[in-house]
Amino acid sequence: MKQIRKVVCAISGGVDSAVSAYLLKKRGFDVIGVHMVNWDRAEEDSNNCPQSVDEKDAEKVCNHLQIPFYVTNFVDKYWNEIFMYLLDNYRKGRTVVSDVLCNKTIKFDRFHKYAFDELQADAVATGHFARTSFGDFLENRLETGLIRLLAAVDPIKDQTFFLSTLTQSQLRRSMFPVGSLTKQQVRQIAIDAGMDEIAEKRESMGLCFIGKRKRFDAFISQVG
C-alpha cells in the first residue's frame, strides 16, 4: 500500500480547517493549503463580503504554519452546477440542502480532482466534523473492503449528514482531522498553536453573495 505523504488540506479561513492543517503537519505530513473561491465577488461589496476576509485569513493560517498556499477558482462550476440548480428548485417549491450538494459536487469532486491531478496529492483533508472507519488520518485504511462514514465525537457539530452522499472512492482518500475532537478542543488547539485570531473568529452563518439582502426570495428576483 502506497504511503501517504502529501496531503492537500482545504483551508476555509476558519478554525476547523486551520487546526486540521496544524494537526496534519504535526503528524509529519507534507501539507499544502488550498482555499476555494466559489462565488464571483466582483459584483459584491468587498468590504462587507466575508469571503474576502476568509481568503486573507486562509493565507495567514498557511503562512503561520509555514505550508504552501494556493487559491483555486470554482466560480463557474458553482454557478452552473449548484446555484442555478438551487434557484430552479426554489422556484418549483422544492427544498435542496445546499451543503450536501456543494460537498458532493465541489469539495469532494472538483476539489479532489484538483488536489490529485494538479497537486499530486496522496490524500485530501477538510475541517468537517466527521469520522470514517479508516481513521481521522487514514491510519487504519485498507486496500479492499468498505469504508464507513461515522459520526463525529462532538454531537452538536457533527456534519456526517452533509457528507452522506459521498462515494466510497471519495471517502477512501479523505481525512477528517478534527472528527475526534470537540469544538472547544479545536479552539483550544488553535490558541495553543498561536492562532488566537482564528480561534476567536465567528463561524460563518450565511451566504456571502446575499450580502445585505434580508430575504432570499428578493435576491432570487434580482438574479432570475
**Active site residues per annotation:** 102, 208
Nearest CA-CA partner of 15 in 214, 191, 206: 191
CB of 122 within 8 A of CB of 2?
yes
CB of 176 within 8 A of CB of 126?
yes
Task: Report d(CA 105, CA 146) in Å as an integer.
Answer: 22
CB of 120 within 8 A of CB of 32?
no
User: Grid cell 476576509 — which residue?
Assistant: 53
Residue 98 dihedral angles phi and psi, to the nearest 5°: -60, -35
Task: Report d(CA 45, CA 29) in Å as an integer.
Answer: 38
